Chain A
Amino acid sequence: MSQNTMNLKVKVWRQKNANAQGAFVTYDVAGISDEMSFLEMMDILNERLITEGGDPVAFDHDCREGICGMCSMYINGKPHGPWQANTTCQLHMRAFKDGETIVIEPWRANSFPIVKDLTVDRSAFDRIIQAGGYISLNTGNAVDGNSIPIEKQNADDAFAAAMCIGCGACVAACKNSSAMLFLSAKVSHLALLPQGAPERKSRVLNMVAQMDKEGFGSCTNTGACEATCPKEISIANIARLNSEYLGASLSAQ
């Protein structure tokens, strides 16, 4: 299979730190193979910037296998770029045409302040998880995984919700900067399992309270989050979260 090389223009948001004024800077990137990943293209740009004595573009990445949720980047007007059900690290340069200008922006939301360039602080998600996205159990020997019967449909739905990697694309895509798809995935996957039952009510109430404290917007069910989610988390989880919240807040003491 022959490789095609392309010359591109990359228009990147550059911002020194959280308080600095940012601006777009356009770079020419030449000789990019269409088999490279998007982050490899960014690596090539950064190596050149370092060689030239410049400041490389800061961006988050870790596993580069599409499972860790670290990579972000809002590419040509869509979180994680043009492909469906895909993370930025799994996006390949064949998605672009020779001579194209690619616009790369950080996740934009007040709750995700910019650290530098394309890197944003997503610790708000960690604090939402700390508020209730866990189960409590006694330590000791591990219990046999199959000793608790779980209905197949619930197991499947819980697993589908647990696919969420917490990347924040839902917040970036939402016109309201709402974190409801993330929160609903985390609440759903525990609400559907017997292990999550003891803390079911306090979980949803505490996590919603923390989400509001972090300053995310509210959900208007537009579906932009679901359309851009790299793990295709269903918006039906948001309706489940609403049901959990309504039930828990009406029955709370």
Chain B
Amino acid sequence: MTFKQMFTSSVGKKLVMAFTGIFLVLFLVVHAGLNACIWAMDGGVMFNKAAHFMGSFIVPRILEIGLFLGIFLHIIQGYMLTLENRSKRKVGYEVNYSKGSKWYSRSMAILGTILLMFFVIHWKHFWVPSRITGVEEMDLGNGFIVHNLYGVMQDTFQNVWVVIFYVIACISLGYHLAHGFQSAFKTIGVHNKRYHAMINTIGFGFAIIIPLAFALMPISFYLHWVN
């Protein structure tokens, strides 16, 4: 038994999805937590400081490489598994069986595709200007100059279509997590009934709270809840 055999079996491929999925879940907590600084009502000072820390400190920069690897592995493996699984039934049914499972558990690839489209636009909105093309700077005093990403958010979320697209992406994320969170833990082997119930509850709560927090960010800027 080699590691290659382990991760390329049908169970192993799912392990890759589960491990990368859980890693991405952890990233969402960090991302939502840092972004919540926009609600500090200080004109974006705390948020820009947090973003500066993430962009300039070595540890998050190294983690960022892992994050990109994790995202791409999750996306590529997800698409490959979807195509592979579809190929296992060449002749389909006249009447499909849809009552035994939730629609979103059967639609992870579609929800994931919406999220991928969102990532491309989201990176273009924030990551590319911050890392490559440059962002207007903000002087926090004593020569402490940071990127004014708060200002970029303010500008970006004045467009109602951008806000609507972000909210749709957050709803997709919610359904993706509603299945993915608990499924990932089952895939890594959590089968104790007590933990099962606990993970189902935490997963459901996570799938509502995190996407809701993210969705409230563009809405807050659009409706000028934050200055």
A212 interface residue (CB < 8 Å to B): yes
Residues of A within 8 A of B99 (CB): 78, 227
Residues of B within 8 A of A211 (CB): 10
Interchain CB contact under 8 A, B191 and A240: yes
Interchain CB contact under 8 A, B190 and A108: no
B187 interface residue (CB < 8 Å to A): yes
Interchain CB contact under 8 A, B88 and A103: no
Interchain CB contact under 8 A, B105 and A227: no
B90 interface residue (CB < 8 Å to A): yes
Residues of A within 8 A of B141 (CB): none
Chain A residues 32-85 with CB under 8 Å of chain B are 74, 76-79
With A108-B91, A216-B88 known to touch, is A242 a contact of B10 (CB < 8 Å)?
no
Residues of A within 8 A of B108 (CB): 220
Residues of B within 8 A of A245 (CB): 9, 11-12, 189
The closest CB in chain B to the CB of A173 belongs to B97
For the complex, give the distance between the alpha carbons of A108 and B14 in Å: 23
Interchain CB contact under 8 A, B186 and A221: yes
Interchain CB contact under 8 A, B1 and A103: no
B212 to chain A, nearest CB (A): 24
Residues of A within 8 A of B143 (CB): none
Residues of B within 8 A of A103 (CB): 94-95
A246 interface residue (CB < 8 Å to B): yes
With A209-B9, A217-B88, A240-B189 known to touch, is A105 a contact of B97 (CB < 8 Å)?
no
B9 to chain A, nearest CB (A): 6
Task: Scan A232-253; emit 1 where CB is below 8 A from any B CB, else 0.
Answer: 0001111111111111111011
Interchain CB contact under 8 A, A243 and B106: no
Task: Scan A89-127; emit 1 where CB is below 8 A from any B CB, else 0.
Answer: 000000000000001010011110000000000000000
A177 interface residue (CB < 8 Å to B): yes
The closest CB in chain B to the CB of A251 belongs to B1
Interchain CB contact under 8 A, B97 and A79: yes
Task: Scan A188-229; emit 1 where CB is below 8 A from any B CB, else 0.
Answer: 000000000000000001001101100111111111111110
Q: What is the interface residue range for chain B against chain A?
A: 35 or more
For the complex, give the distance between the alpha carbons of A219 and B102 in Å: 15
The closest CB in chain B to the CB of A250 belongs to B6
A16 interface residue (CB < 8 Å to B): no
**Which residue in A76, A111, A208, A225 is a CB contact (below 8 Å) of B11?**
A208
Residues of A within 8 A of B84 (CB): 217-218
Interchain CB contact under 8 A, A109 and B89: yes
Interchain CB contact under 8 A, B93 and A178: no
Residues of B within 8 A of A110 (CB): 87-90
Residues of B within 8 A of A130 (CB): none
The closest CB in chain A to the CB of B105 belongs to A222
With A103-B95, A108-B93 known to touch, is A242 a contact of B85 (CB < 8 Å)?
no
Interchain CB contact under 8 A, B188 and A220: no
A17 interface residue (CB < 8 Å to B): no
A175 interface residue (CB < 8 Å to B): yes
With A242-B11, A243-B190 known to touch, is A105 a contact of B94 (CB < 8 Å)?
yes
With A110-B89, A239-B196, A242-B189 known to touch, is A220 a contact of B10 (CB < 8 Å)?
no
For the complex, give the distance between the alpha carbons of A94 and B156 in Å: 61
B136 to chain A, nearest CB (A): 45
Interchain CB contact under 8 A, B88 and A227: no
Interchain CB contact under 8 A, A227 and B187: no
Interchain CB contact under 8 A, B105 and A220: yes
For the complex, give the distance between the alpha carbons of A109 and B97 in Å: 14
Chain B residues 35-92 with CB under 8 Å of chain A are 81, 84-92
A24 interface residue (CB < 8 Å to B): yes
Residues of B within 8 A of A224 (CB): 97, 100-101
**Which residue in A79, A223, A240, A248 is a CB contact (below 8 Å) of B105?**
A223
With A178-B85, A226-B100, A245-B11 known to touch, is A220 a contact of B183 (CB < 8 Å)?
yes
Residues of B within 8 A of A252 (CB): 1
B176 interface residue (CB < 8 Å to A): no
Closest 5 CB pairs of A and B: A243-B189, A227-B100, A77-B95, A239-B191, A176-B85
Given A175-B106, A215-B88, 16 other A-B contacts at CB below 8 A? A108-B93, A110-B90, A178-B10, A217-B89, A220-B183, A222-B106, A227-B99, A238-B186, A239-B185, A239-B190, A242-B187, A243-B190, A243-B191, A245-B12, A246-B15, A249-B6
